[in-house]
Amino acid sequence: MSGCHGPKMRMDPTLHKEKKPDWIRVSLPNKPEFWSTKSLIKDLKLVTVCEEAQCPNRWECWGQGTATFMIAGEKCTRACGFCAVKTAKPDALEDDEPKRVAEATKRMKLKHVVITAVARDDLKDGGAEHFQKTIEAVREANPGIVIEVLVPDFNDRDWALEMVMEARPHIFNHNIETVERLTPLVRSRAQYQRSLTVLKKAKEMMGGKIATKSGLMLGLGERKEEILQAMDDLLAHGVTVLTMGQYLRPSPKHLPVVEYITPEAFEELKVIAEEKGFRHVASGPLVRSSYHAADFRPELDLEE
């Protein structure tokens, strides 16, 4: 049981049986934009994290004509206990993928794009150059678009991170995913401190002129004081945008849900995070890293 909420917000113990509470239910697609986005992504042979990670909001986001592109293949070299992406030896990078992503953002008339990737520990640069090329291609095809990257840790290789930052994304996102104590259980190979360092270095490499963002999944057994500590750690490393959402188990092979956090508890955490100093906080059961990403205005940081 997490200490996320006080006595009034304690969950019903029957929820431990993995029966999802009502607030987790999502509606199915009913907008034509969902189907046109789906066919466009298929036509351009692209991969979206929306499908790979079985995101519960994909109906809503695609219905609004937005998507998060996952570059560098569908097979990850890591095996995080929460993640639905397949672990396998990845395929070679596709040279024309940056252009295909750019073409999709143009056809979809996106104003904000999120570009992410699996961890490519098989590549010396962890896929950094591929990120760089994709950012550049998107900017060229779609001037004025806000580009958000959600990157792996590149095994803390500064030169690889620099390749990404040289392409000047507007928002740099790297998720710490969970509190420090649970990191070895939840994340494969990634380290809590290393992720914080990556976030700090990315900001420093841009002279502070970039919004940095991170996210936590809740319901994995973390305690409230650990969440608050994670918030303090992120703020101390320059992070100004925070997302918090409910962990949902993709399959019985994945880590079990320890607790379903109530919407009220998520709201309470949002208020706490804002009081602590985050400039933008998205917190709720169905919030994911890229959920309503365009709602955040990165100019808040860039103006400084």
The residues of the shown chain that bind ligand SF4, judged by CB under 6 A, are 76, 78-80, 83, 85, 118-119, 152, 188
Measured from the CB atom, is 145 or 151 closer to ligand SF4? 151
Q: How far is the CB of 250 from ligand SF4 (least distance, A)?
A: 10
Three-state DSSP class for residue 98: helix
Closest approach, Cβ 136 to ligand SF4, in A, equals 23
* SS3 state at 144: coil
Please state the closest distance from residue 163 (CB atom) to ligand SF4, in A.
19
Structural contact between residues 131 and 164, judged by C-beta atoms closer than 8 angstroms: yes
Q: Could you tell me the smallest distance in angstroms from the CB atom of residue 79 to ligand SF4?
A: 6
Tokens of 115: 């570009």
* Smallest gap from residue 259 Cβ to ligand SF4 (A): 21
CB-nearer residue toward ligand SF4: 119 or 165: 119
**Separation of alpha carbons 89 and 143, rounded Å:** 35
Under 8 Å between Cβ of 229 and 201: no
DSSP string, 183-215: HHHHSSS--HHHHHHHHHHHHHHTTT-SEEEEE
Residue 213's CB is within 10 A of a number of other CB atoms, namely 30
* 3-state SS string for 7-54: HHHCCCHHHHHCCCCHHHCCCCCCCHHHHHHHHHHHHCCCCEHHHHCC
Closest C-alpha among 278, 188, 167 to residue 232:
278
When the beta carbons of 145 and 149 are compared against ligand SF4, the nearer one is 149
Of 152 and 298, the one with the shorter C-beta distance to ligand SF4 is 152
**Closest approach of ligand SF4 to the CB of residue 87, in Å:** 6
Residue with Cβ nearer ligand SF4 (70 or 138): 70
**Beta carbon nearer to ligand SF4, 62 or 82:** 82
- Of the pair 80, 220, the CB lying nearest ligand SF4 is at 80
Q: How far is the CB of 193 from ligand SF4 (least distance, A)?
A: 17
Answer whether 131's CB lies under 8 Å from 166's CB: no
